[in-house]
Structure 1
Amino acid sequence: MSHFKKLSSANKRSTEIVSQIKTHLLNGLLKPGDKLPTEEELVEQFGVSRTPIREAIKTLEAIGIVQIKRGEGMFITKQPTSVSLNPLIFSLLLLNESLDKLIEFRQHFEVMMMNVIKSNWSEEKIAKIRQVYETQKETLVSDISTEKLVEIDLTFHFAILETTENEYMMEIGKTIYELYKPKMLQAKHTFDVEKTLKAHKYHLELLSTKEPLTQKQIDEMIKYNKEWIG
């Protein structure tokens, strides 16, 4: 079982914990399927309270690096996805001190993403996004868990991302949303189904024409993004 060093950096503690686990993965001290120390052991090894340990584990769980098995403990995922092993995600996780900067980056990126779709617009492409939205209207229920709601919300944005048909944009977009995911899970409030569907409907309406986005429309998109994390 891996042993970690006590933290001595002035950086955010949960970020430093993620950094050490990343280093252990890269140098082979941790491998897929390996069991992590218990929460109590991690507290002792890192010399911190439970709060940064839980923040770090939640982040790593959200991007598919760590799997928690009830009654057994915490494990490195046996079959990590290409997304969870993406070095760009790890690098940005370590830089991710400012939530405001991440929100700002996502907002500008989504405007660019929509402009790309509009520059090569077709009804067939938009129909695929519309189908995802119609399916969500049928499957989203009021008592859905936050975890499931986040997953469904991101499915819609991934559908928009794929419609750009731009490999560079898709790779960067996936990274942005994977970084955003744990922030959504840790949001101070539960974002309800009605607001999620309203936001998706608005995005779909914006994409339903070739017309460039107006500043008013961009401001409305920004408002929806901020409400998720607020």
Structure 2
Amino acid sequence: MATESFLKEIGGKSIVEQIVDNVTNAIINGELKPGDKIPTENELCASMGVGRNSVREAIKILEAYGVLTIKRAEGTFVKQGFDSKMLYPVLYGIILQKDSANQIVELRKVIDVGILQLAMDKLDLDSLHKAEQAMKELEQKISAVNVDANAIFAADTAFHMVLVAITQNALLEGICYYVDQITKKSRLKAIEKFLEDKATEQFLFMHREMLRVLKEKDRTKINVVVENHYQYWEKVTG
């Protein structure tokens, strides 16, 4: 590939950041498409007037983010399809900012509203059966003789991931998976609070309501159900 016109210098940033930004912008603008081979190291060096080490560092960063993939003896290519690693920078930004716990709860609410809306459009008998089965498994964990908060958390996560899977949206699945991972500590605390307050029936009711709204495709109740669903989680993060 010839020297690329999309490689423009950007002031105020390190050389590595400039290279990362330029390749990223080229993908956003459609100058580089999924599956395309990017310019060689020599071409990037010549276009930017930078050293090979800077180019290699930028490529490593983009590979770590799941944007590029390196094929030995072939070159470096733009990734085809979604890679969950693409979410890392966003999630780190969420985790590290002030008051992140409360903001994550708010984020999850917004996501769940969208999930239910989209899931209603794509719901079929098979996916409904899977959601109902996930609900039964959650009920079993709650009613176990030796109630275990970790087991409940796992079943709760599985229930929500079944709902996400109904949307058939890989990006949503990736976001929810990582939100589940980074919120495990506070969600376990919320589950322990339910157990301490002997409010397990309320815990199950909130999940049944989410399932009922989905099954009946009652869009008017989505916001209320989602708002109620996270009331205990809000208490322990507030």
1:194 aligned to which of 201, 225, 229: 201
The one-character-per-residue Cα deviations of 1:158-190 (angstroms, maximum 9, x if unpaired) are 111111111111111112222222211344952
CA RMSD of aligned residues (A): 2.7
Instruction: Please give the alpha-carbon distance, in whole angstroms, between the structure 1 residues aligned to 2:171 and 2:84.
Output: 14
**Structure-1-length-normalised TM-score:** 0.55
Q: Please state whether the residue corresponding to 1:204 is helix, strand or coil.
A: helix
Asked which structure has the greater RCO (Cα within 8 Å, sep 6+), the reply is: 1
Match of 1:53 in 2: none
Q: Which has the higher helix share?
A: 2
Instruction: Please give the alpha-carbon distance, in whole angstroms, between the structure 2 residues aligned to 1:99 and 1:154.
Output: 18
Match of 1:174 in 2: 177
* Residues 103 and 226 in structure 1, CA contact (< 8 A), matched pair in contact too: no
1:148 aligned to which of 148, 151, 154: 151
How far is 1:204 from its partner? 0.8
1:113 aligned to which of 112, 115, 131: 115
Match of 1:208 in 2: 215
Match of 2:132 in 1: 130
Match of 1:38 in 2: none
Instruction: Please give the alpha-carbon distance, in whole angstroms, between the structure 1 residues aligned to 2:143 and 2:118.
Output: 33
Q: Which amino acid aligns with 2:102?
A: D
* Residues 186 and 233 in structure 2, CA contact (< 8 A), matched pair in contact too: no
Q: Which runs of 5+ in 1 are unaligned?
A: 1-81
* Residues 206 and 229 in structure 2, CA contact (< 8 A), matched pair in contact too: yes
Q: Please state whether the residue corresponding to 1:190 is helix, strand or coil.
A: helix
The one-character-per-residue Cα deviations of 1:46-95 (angstroms, maximum 9, x if unpaired) are xxxxxxxxxxxxxxxxxxxxxxxxxxxxxxxxxxxx98997244443223
Instruction: Please give the alpha-carbon distance, in whole angstroms, between the structure 2 residues aligned to 1:96 and 1:117.
Output: 32
Aligned positions, number: 147
How far is 1:102 from its partner? 1.4
